Structure 1
Amino acid sequence: MSDIARQVDGTQPASLSLDRSLLRALPTPKVTFDHPEYSPVSSDDDNNAPAAPFVVALFELSKDQLRFLKLRCSGDRNPPTAVSTFQAVAAHAWRCACIARGLLPSQETRLHTITDVHGRLKPPLPPRYLGNAAVRISVTTKVEKLISHSIRYGAEHIRRVLNNIGDEYVRSVVDYVEVTGISRLPASGKLLRTDLRIVSWLSLQSYAGDFGWGEPIYVARPHFSGGGHGYLVRSPRKDGGVGLTLALEVDSMERFKQLVRQSAMVRPSEPTPQRRLWNSNLDLVVVRWHTPSVYFYRRARILNNFFDAAVLEAALARVLVQFYPVAGRLARDEDGRIEIDCNAEGVLFVVAEADCTVTYFQCGGVALGVGMQHYVADGYTGINFINSWANLARGLPPTIRPFIDRTLLRARNPPTPSFPHVEYHPPPSISTEVISPSPTSNKATATVVRMFKLTPTHIDELRARVPPGSPKFSLYALVAGHVWRCACLARGLPADQLTKLYIAVDGRQRLKPPLPDGYIGNVILTATPIATADEVIAGVPEAAAKVQGMLARMDDKYMTSALDYLELQPDLSALAKGPHTFRCPNLGLTSWARLPIHDADFGWGRPAFMGPGGIAYEGLAYVLPSPTGDRSQSIAISLQAEHMDEFGKLIYQI
């Protein structure tokens, strides 16, 4: 219509399909599914009560906020679960609404929506079918389950229900309506206070209606029949964002706003260099994910502004001025190589009540979670970024002065590797079946993460296992050898099974000349001792010797050769670490023992604990220092569930 109004050349009214008998019920209706969304609303007192006063608000979510929501819906899965924009936003809004309304954990809650069925029928409806071709859908769960889990729980429920909507289901709806009778169906505007209804307009060309005076600046529904109704539309700015227009009870809306909006893109507080930052080969072979870490803080009794979000956000904006690549975005150069576009778009800062950046607990404590894109930073860089952020929050200078030039790690010209660099070769595969779960066990593919503390007594016992007169082993070599040995035993590896241990080695001080202290980027190379299982399980000294022997090779000559080796590889992405790298029969053990992971004092004290926020891959582990400096170390490790129980016993059998 708008094209005709503007007299666009060649515009003709669209040829429509007017045959609505395509959606006629069967002569003998056949209802093959339950359709609770079309069931009459129960007549209890709550439902018969007058509708509560409600207000309408618009919530805008940027492209980056949507990306963050989808990341939370995917969790630690690799590859991430495909989550649509509707599923992510609807799950977030549904969960926030349950909390804002103060629903009881035992109550049942439903998310209602409608879905277009043009393409779900067989054969599909004609593209220009004129008529209603949408069915009601509802997703049901208990409030307790929805709010005690992350939004991934709700998103997965929504996705499963929508994926089941096919031709048979739609035909069942048509026949159900025929059998029930239109007059007996509940009006779609009637909602229980426990429920939410969100309709997606994302697939509609909402902003194409230009009658000659420009496109509309916003499109929305003019009337809402009650609280709990919402509509999701694309941003008129065409910037990848969306807008959620939601009606909610007056007494719940303010709380809902706090929950759904407690996120912001924090940008550098001052102008920063606008440039493209070249990534070294070491930046391009890291694990492709955001490295999650979490800090737990106990509440200080005498402080009233404990973990003030405004203080944290302001300090974050200041630290991004100096660590400006962190506020950029990944991009590709003309050759397709990944680089960092230092465009100051900012980082996502979230304050919430569960699984977000800053989480407040009822006991008064706080959890601070940070996800650092591994292309941007390794552990040393990431820890110094967080510690500098903490220092600025309490009026101190950053811990380091960032050095932002990754060309220091360019390969030689011409590249001349002098070692075979087995660390980049494919890992050994399992040659025979290891300890297997029973066919009916759910542990067949499940992995679990656990943490084991090695006390000073355990450390001393490890040292005592080394025979007199033997070479002196570093503490890391002893701990790594012990963990490697326990993993081989717990997995039940046969004696001749090859196993590879991946050890992250910081090259900053091993290269000649050493890199500047403030070098920002990945300087992690990998030492990979390889042995048969019987060689590893022979004893702690034997396993530690293999670890220490490989670490001794990691000097300037070896590391420079590694840079040259990577330069000659046609596809660095093929060498990137992932779930295939560490899984049985192999292991990865990264030590944070020498990193200042407990120095992040934002003004309210040091963290009571710091560690990985999740371990995505089976066979990956971390060594953590004690927060109290008592010489103890903790091992955070991910293993197959069937192997973890045995590992937990072996780790203390020194």
Structure 2
Amino acid sequence: MTTPFDIPLTFTVRLRKPEFITPNKPTSHEQKIVSDIDDQVSLRFQMPLVFFYRYDPSMEGKDPAEVIKDALAQTLVLYHPLAGRLREGNDGKLIVDCNEEGVMFIKADADVTLEQFGEILGFDQLLSDFPHSQAILNCPLLLIQVTRLKCGGFIVALRFNHVMCDGTGLKQFMSAIGEMARGLVIPSILPVWERHLLGAQDPPNVTFAHHEYDQVEATVTTLPLDNIVERTFFFGTGELSILRRLLPLHLHHCTKFEVLSAYVWRCRTIAVNLDPDEEVRMIFTVNARSKFNPPLPSGYYGNAFAIPAAMTTVRNLRQNSLGHAVELVQQAKASVAEGYMKSVAALMIIRNKQLPLSTVYGSYLISDVTNIGFEDINSGWGKAVFAGPAKAIGWISFFIPTKNKKGEIGTSVPICLPAPAMERFAKELDNILKHPELGGKN
């Protein structure tokens, strides 16, 4: 399940005319250069997120859309680059034109209560599209829609330009909006631009093998676009306990991410049914802020994550135990340090930023947002009931903190696959959880 709610429904949303929200005080008009990490072609997309909030009697009479809109205008004074527009320089380098044109803001009303929500079947209604609002250049860098519900709860859906910030940076910005909405004059964390900290050395020097960017021949080159289905799988403490029992003693203290990502990767690889000699990659995000010496400033809100790849063959992944997959993930994760980030930046310079992530069918990307804390963003109505990415995006899945309908805290994993592969994936997940005596082997 994708949210804590499990009653599918249809609903009607009435939209107000979109507004452009600008900083409520004058800010400097200037041009800012993004980092070499920000500038990579793989980040040139708009990322959607959704936040569900319950009615709070203490906020009776207050309009959440107006509260958030006013706080947004106040917060944009400090985060004024987000009110600008991305331009492309003569050398192809992306530049932020800080011009106060503003972010797009939409008020909406829906004839439904929060308790009636099922899987996010109406996400397109929760995050409306307008001409050019999903472009990368010369358009708003952020779109926010606040949909008020008839129960007094509300939903905040947004789409942000990933060139400008990563999930941690966006959470910092949204937390500042929440603090302003609750009456603070200055947020607890002040924003830091300093994008030069993630620039390449001069001359650029690639010192690592970045398999996440490999462009290779494959028997099936891309994820088929027809007959794609999406399902979300929930993993609670019970499922994780079973998976840990499959691991050898020296891996019992591995992280939840390591064991769950290895498990999902292995099951997906079996499900897509590739040639046994095909190379497969599990690419995942690692927050690199603490990997620098000294660490990046706490207010840095640009892209500061690495995307290392665990790589092996289909045969190797299938024939070995789950513990072997965990060790592959750990090895890739351990490679991320300041030198790794500088090496990625150098690779982007040498390849003129036009090097996408490996997108062959055997590649799979997982972004873990369980520790970002999106659910803690509070504009006066308390913490979010659900917060995070609304769905998988093609070959990208997310680890999202949530509760199931029994109230159990766990991790939701949305995944997209062709229908036959999805059936095999679900069966493989079920086989291992119900028959752990197989030791995680096929």
Smaller-chain TM-score bracket: 0.7 to 0.9
Classify 1:471/1:366 alpha carbon distance in 2 versus 1 (closer, same or farther; 3 Å): closer
Q: Deviations over 1:352-407 (max 9, x none)?
A: 13323111234443211011101111111111111111111111342421001211
Q: Distance in 2 between matches of 1:554 and 1:419?
A: 10
**Do residues 624 (structure 1) and 405 (structure 2) align?**
no
Answer yes or no: is the 8 Å Cα contact 1:608–1:627 preserved in 2: no
Letter in structure 2 aligned against 1:522: N
CA distance in 2, matches of 1:306, 1:366: 12
Inter-CA distance 330–529: structure 2 relative to 1 (3 Å threshold): same
Task: Choose which of 61, 64, 68 in structure 2 pairs with 1:305.
Answer: 61
The answer as to whether partners of 2:88 and 2:95 remain within 8 angstroms in 1 is yes
Query: In structure 2, do the counterparts of structure 1 residues 363 and 648 end up closer, same or farther at CA, with 3 Å as the change threshold?
Result: farther
Cα distance in 2, alignment partners of residues 446 and 314 from structure 1 = 43
Q: Does 1:394 align with 2:182?
A: yes
State the secondary structure of the residue aligned to 1:451: strand
Match of 2:215 in 1: 426
For residue 284 of structure 1, the aligned residue among 30, 33, 39 is 39
Check whether the contact 1:582–1:620 (CA below 8 A) recurs between aligned residues: no
The AA in structure 2 aligned to 1:368 is V
Distance 1:492 1:388, change over 3 A: same
Amino acid at match of 2:333: L
Change (3 A) 1:592 1:307: farther
1:485 Cα deviation after fit: 0.8
Q: Partner residue of 1:267?
A: 22
Look up the equivalent residue of 1:531 and give its one-letter code.
T
Amino acid at match of 1:410: G
1:326 aligns with 2:82: yes
Contact 2:47 2:162 in 1 (8 A): yes
Indicate if the aligned counterparts of 2:244 and 2:252 stay in contact, CA closer than 8 A.
no
Contact 1:394–1:602 (Cα < 8 Å) also in 2: yes
For residue 509 of structure 1, give the secondary structure of its aligned residue in structure 2. helix
Q: Find the residue that maps to 1:623 and give its secondary structure.
A: strand
- What secondary structure does 2:298 align onto? coil
TM-score w.r.t. length of structure 1: 0.55
Q: Aligned partners of 1:471 and 1:313: how far apart in 2?
A: 47
Determine if the alignment matches structure 1 residue 355 to structure 2 residue 133: no
Aligned to 2:97: 341
Q: Which amino acid aligns with 2:146?
A: V
Give yes or no for contact 1:499–1:585 (8 Å, CA) kept in 2: yes
Q: Which residue identity is paired with 1:355?
A: L
Cross-structure match for 2:392? 615
Q: What runs of 5+ residues in structure 2 fail to find an aligned partner? A: 1-9, 110-124, 128-144, 434-442
Identity between Structure 1 and Structure 2 (%): 28
Cα distance, 1:536–1:307 mapped onto 2, change above 3 Å = farther
Higher mean alpha-carbon deviation, 336-345 vs 302-311, is at 302-311
CA distances 1:408-447 after superposition (whole Å, capped 9, x unpaired): 122112222222322222156335999xxxxxxxx97132
After superposition, what is the alpha-carbon deviation per residue over 1:86-121, rounded to whole angstroms, capped at 9, x for unaligned?
xxxxxxxxxxxxxxxxxxxxxxxxxxxxxxxxxxxx
Q: How many Å apart are 1:526 and its aligned residue?
A: 1.4
Residue number in structure 2 paired with 1:636: 414
Alignment partner, residue 260 of structure 2: 479
1:572 maps to a residue whose letter is K
Higher relative CO (CA 8 A, sep ≥ 6), structure 1 or 2? 2
Q: SS in structure 1 opposite 2:243?
A: helix
Q: 1:279 to 1:370 in 2, by over 3 A?
A: same
Instruction: Tell me the alpha carbon deviations over residues 153-188 of structure 1, each in whole angstroms, 9 at most, x when there is no partner.
Output: xxxxxxxxxxxxxxxxxxxxxxxxxxxxxxxxxxxx
Equivalent position SS for 2:290: coil
* 8 Å CA contact 1:275, 1:342 repeated in 2: yes
Matches within 5 A, 1:526-537: 526-537=307-318
Q: Larger deviation: 421-430 or 315-324?
A: 421-430
The amino acid across from 1:323 in the alignment is Y
Give unmatched runs, 5+ long, in structure 1.
1-146, 151-258, 435-442
Residues 15, 106 of structure 2: 8 Å contact kept: no
Larger radius of gyration: 1
**Matched letter for residue 322 of structure 2:** V
The AA in structure 1 aligned to 2:412 is S
Task: Confirm or deny: 8 A CA contact 2:220 2:360 kept in the other structure.
Answer: no
Partner of 1:373: 161
* Aligned-residue offset at 1:615: 3.4
* Distance of aligned partners of 1:601 and 1:346 in 2 relative to their CA distance in 1, 3 Å threshold: same
- Give a deviation string over 1:130-162, Cα, whole Å, max 9, x none: xxxxxxxxxxxxxxxxx9689xxxxxxxxxxxx
1:191-247 Cα offsets, whole Å, 9 max, x none, are: xxxxxxxxxxxxxxxxxxxxxxxxxxxxxxxxxxxxxxxxxxxxxxxxxxxxxxxxx
Q: Which secondary structure does the structure 2 equivalent of 1:624 belong to? A: strand
User: Are 2:338 and 1:556 aligned?
Assistant: yes
Q: Deviations over 1:2-57 (max 9, x none)?
A: xxxxxxxxxxxxxxxxxxxxxxxxxxxxxxxxxxxxxxxxxxxxxxxxxxxxxxxx
Report Cα offsets for 1:236-268 as digits up to 9, x if no partner.
Answer: xxxxxxxxxxxxxxxxxxxxxxx5644210000
Question: What SS is found at the alignment partner of 2:282?
Answer: strand
> Using the alignment, how far apart are the partners of 1:517 and 1:268 within structure 2?
23
SS at match of 1:315: helix
Q: After superposition, where does 1:173-322 map in structure 2 within 5 Å? A: 259=14, 261-285=16-40, 286-301=42-57, 303-305=59-61, 307-322=63-78
Q: Give me the whole-angstrom Cα distance separating, in 1, the residues matched to 2:22 and 2:158.
A: 16
Say whether 1:591 aligns with 2:368. Answer: yes
Residue 305 to residue 426, structure 1, CA distance change in 2 (3 Å): farther
Distance across 2 between alignment mates of 1:433 and 1:409: 31
User: For residues 404 and 432 of structure 1, do their structure 2 counterparts lie closer, same or farther at Cα, with a shift above 3 Å needed?
Assistant: closer
CA RMSD in angstroms comes to: 2.6
The alpha-carbon distance between structure 1 residues 583 and 305, as it changes in their structure 2 partners (threshold 3 A), is farther
C-alpha deviations, 1:53-86, integer Å up to 9, x for none?
xxxxxxxxxxxxxxxxxxxxxxxxxxxxxxxxxx
In structure 2, the partner of 1:602 is: 379
Structure 1 residues 456, 614: closer, same or farther in 2, change over 3 A? closer
Matched position secondary structure for 1:588: strand
Q: State the match for 1:118 in structure 2.
A: none
Query: Relative to structure 2, which stretch is displaced further, 299-308 or 533-542?
Result: 299-308
How far 1:298 moved relative to its partner? Answer: 1.9
2:172–2:301: 8 Å Cα contact kept in structure 1? no
The answer to whether the aligner puts 1:576 opposite 2:356 as a matched pair is: yes
Partner of 2:329: 547
Structure 2 CA distance for partners of 1:516 and 1:627, relative to 1, 3 Å: farther
